[in-house]
Amino acid sequence: MPKLPGISHAQAVRVFAKLGFRVAREGKHTIMSNGRVRLTIPRHNRIDAFTMAGLAQDAGLTPNQFRELL
């Protein structure tokens, strides 16, 4: 999988909200769900590229689709 940029927590939440994911709960991590898939997004200042690649894959996105949504 091509490398994705490391982005902030707020940007990640914004991208997944565009896809229909809603915040289920927040704490040290933000849990987002669309009813079928649950994503656990760390609340770090910068989420590294490997973690973002895994989250995008779990959400069913290709790297190019994820970049377009940024």
| Pairwise CA distance, residues 38 & 34, whole Å | 7
Written as one letter, the residue type at 61 is: L
1 has pLDDT over 70: no
Domains of the chain, each with CATH number or no CATH? 9-69 (3.30.920.30)
Residue with tokens 């970049």: 67
- Checking if the pLDDT of 2 tops 60, the result is no
Q: Model confidence over 16-56: pLDDT tens digits?
A: 999 999 999 999 999 999 999 999 999 988 898 888 889 99
Reply yes or no on whether the pLDDT at 64 is more than 60. yes
Residue 3 pLDDT class (50, 70, 90 cuts): low
**Ramachandran bin of 60, using left for φ above 0, alpha for ψ from -120 to 50, beta for the remaining angles:** left
